[in-house]
């Protein structure tokens, strides 16, 4: 009989939700994290009374009622609705692409006029592909031109996407852009999901609620004393990097990462919105986040005379940096698959979350996965 039923490596949403459920099932858990705080990438730091999303802006969104009710049972969520604005050479456009955007781009007033404008541009893209003898879009640029046309592609997509991925749109897979909704209504809500919001009081409340009454240790790296950690629990839940778990025996997986440049400003309202994307290539950052707008609405924004902003610079990942986005190319996917096969054969280790599965997951699917695990 070992000291713990579960050793949980990583206190992000996967590990914390697992610990919560395991405790409810009467299991004894220890959660360790190599960072100096709990919560993984949803962790926020309070600066000037503002919850600053230290690892990038996090907006919870889902259409799954069970997931929504679960997170709200831990901490109620607010009514934040993500409506990013794009800045291209000083002109502002609403996102996602909707009637407001089409009006700002072309001055079109009705959905029929907008549709006609987009159709005209799509036809051009189609003809260009046909004369090149191509049936399916071969890359992100062709996909975007077919979906929305040249004006929007060149103003709102090309620069942003090339900065985000560090590669030309002609070298990126088409599927990345399929996620962007196109709407012929005046609706700036970025997500199509039924529910969205931010935990009232910030994400740390969610993590604290999930981990309440559970033993935790921060500044504790599983690999610094692997034999010890493996000896103290019947089973391990591992949410760190899968290639590291196997000592990189097949090679290193790649990631994209983000560098944040954070500033506290003596102004109550810097940009009037939580998210402003900079879509031209000459601006080196992809977007500016103004954190207070996630939790303060309307005139509440002026209750605090200061604000905190973060400029996001998308960069190539190197060892020692935070691994954020799995790279979805053939080589990395094939390598990840080899590691996943090893993982599938383990009887006492559950691999879960973004790093252990090497898959980009939003928060809600992570929770959904954990709610469905047999504990
Ligand atoms: P993580 O949060 O990364 O947690 C893993 C934990 O394991 C970390 O705390 C790490 O320190 C710890 N760990 C790793 N290795 C070890 C080790 N060897 N020993 C001990 N501890 C270890 N999702 C949304 O739904 N909406 C959004 O708006 C959104 N925005 C995002 C923006 C960015 C920039 C990023 C990167 C992600 C975003 N996500 C968003 C996704 C969201 O962050 C993830 O779904 C979620 O954080 C995944 O949780 P996790 O537990 O798998 O991983
Ligand atoms: N995108 C874009 N312009 C924008 C916002 C997004 O071209 O202003 C594209 C870009 O290719 C990006 C993709 O849409 O990679 C998905 O963006 P989203 O913000 O939905 O995803 P995330 O950054 O959260 O993965």
| Rounded Cα gap, residues 28 and 43, in angstroms | 24
Can 362 be counted among the known catalytic residues?
Answer: yes
What's the average model confidence in pLDDT over 125-147?
91
| Closest ligand to Cα 191 | 2
Per the residue annotation, which of 48, 193, 322, 362 is the catalytic one? 362
| Closest ligand to Cα 364 | 1
User: pLDDT > 70: what percent of the chain?
Assistant: 99
Distance 328 CA to ligand 2 centre (A): 15
Bridge partners, residue 85, by sequence: 94, 276
Q: Which tokens in the block code for residue 259?
A: 């560098």
What phi and psi, each to the nearest 5 degrees, are found at residue 277? -85, 140
| Rounded Cα gap, residues 374 and 40, in angstroms | 23
Q: What is the pLDDT of residue 1?
A: 79
Q: Is 103 exposed, middle or buried (0-12, 13-18, 19+ CB in 10 A)?
A: middle
Among 95, 150, 180, residue to substitute to test ligand 2 (most atoms within 8 Å of Cβ): 180
Atom from ligand 2 closest to the CA of residue 165: 15
pLDDT exceeds cutoff 70 at 101: yes
Sheet of 325-326, strand order: 91-94, 85-88, 275-278, 287-290, 307-316, 255-265, 325-326
Can 256 be counted among the known catalytic residues?
Answer: yes
Q: What is the pLDDT of residue 330?
A: 86
Q: What is the pTM of this model?
A: 0.96
Q: What is the pLDDT of residue 179?
A: 67
* pLDDT 10s digits, 267-319: 999 999 999 999 999 999 999 999 999 999 999 999 999 999 999 999 989 98
* pLDDT 10s digits, 320-338: 899 998 987 889 999 999 9
4-9 and 29-32 beta bridge pairing: parallel
Q: Which tokens in the block code for residue 264?
A: 């506290």
pLDDT exceeds cutoff 70 at 82: yes
Among 8, 12, 366, 373, residue to substitute to test ligand 1 (most atoms within 8 Å of Cβ): 12
| Rounded Cα gap, residues 141 and 203, in angstroms | 36
Among 42, 218, 239, residue to substitute to test ligand 1 (most atoms within 8 Å of Cβ): 239
Per the residue annotation, which of 33, 35, 153, 256 is the catalytic one? 256
| Rounded Cα gap, residues 97 and 147, in angstroms | 11
Distance 124 CA to ligand 1 centre (A): 41
What's the average model confidence in pLDDT over 208-237?
98
At residue 45 the predicted structure's pLDDT band, cuts being 50, 70 and 90, is: very high
pLDDT exceeds cutoff 90 at 53: yes
Distance 102 CA to ligand 2 centre (A): 18
| Rounded Cα gap, residues 167 and 161, in angstroms | 8
Atom from ligand 1 closest to the CA of residue 364: 25
| Rounded Cα gap, residues 76 and 3, in angstroms | 34
Per the residue annotation, which of 35, 142, 183, 280 is the catalytic one? 183
**Cβ distance 302 to 269 under 8 Å?**
yes
Query: How confident is the prediction for the chain on average, in pLDDT?
Result: 96
Q: Which tokens in the block code for residue 142?
A: 């062709």
Handedness of CA 263, 269, 275, 280 (dihedral sign): negative
Q: What is the pLDDT of residue 175?
A: 86
């Amino acid at each position: 009989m070992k000291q713990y039923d579960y050793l949980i490596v990583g206190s992000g949403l996967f590990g914390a939700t697992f610990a919560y459920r395991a405790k409810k099932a009467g299991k004894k858990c220890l959660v360790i994290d190599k960072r100096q705080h709990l919560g993984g990438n949803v962790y926020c730091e309070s600066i000037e009374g503002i919850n600053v999303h230290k690892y990038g802006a996090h907006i919870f969104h889902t259409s799954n009622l069970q997931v929504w009710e679960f997170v709200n049972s831990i901490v109620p969520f607010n009514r934040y609705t993500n409506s990013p604005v794009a800045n291209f050479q000083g002109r502002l456009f609403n996102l996602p692409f909707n009637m407001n955007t089409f009006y700002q781009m072309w001055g079109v007033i009705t959905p029929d006029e907008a549709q006609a404008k987009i159709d005209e541009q799509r036809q051009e893209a189609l003809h260009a592909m046909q004369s090149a003898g191509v049936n399916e879009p071969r890359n992100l640029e062709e996909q975007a031109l077919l979906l929305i046309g040249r004006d929007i592609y060149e103003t709102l997509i090309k620069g942003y996407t090339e900065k985000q991925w560090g590669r030309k749109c002609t070298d990126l897979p088409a599927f990345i852009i399929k996620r962007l909704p196109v709407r012929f209504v005046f609706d700036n809500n970025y997500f199509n999901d039924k529910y969205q919001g931010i935990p009232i009081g910030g994400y740390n409340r969610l993590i604290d609620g999930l981990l309440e009454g559970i033993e935790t240790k921060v500044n504790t790296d599983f690999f610094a004393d692997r034999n010890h950690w493996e000896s103290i629990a019947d089973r391990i839940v591992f949410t760190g990097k899968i290639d590291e778990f196997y000592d990189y025996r097949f090679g290193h997986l790649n990631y994209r990462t983000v560098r944040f440049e954070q500033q506290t400003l003596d102004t109550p309202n810097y940009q009037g919105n939580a998210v402003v994307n900079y879509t031209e290539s000459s601006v080196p950052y992809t977007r500016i986040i103004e954190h207070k707008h996630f939790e303060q609405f309307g005139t509440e924004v002026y209750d605090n005379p200061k604000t905190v902003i973060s400029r996001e610079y998308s960069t190539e990942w190197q060892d020692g940096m935070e691994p954020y986005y799995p790279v979805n190319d053939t080589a990395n996917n094939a390598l990840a698959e080899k590691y996943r096969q090893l993982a599938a054969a383990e009887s006492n280790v559950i691999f879960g979350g973004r790093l252990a599965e090497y898959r980009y997951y939003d928060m809600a699917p992570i929770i959904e996965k954990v709610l469905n695990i047999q504990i």
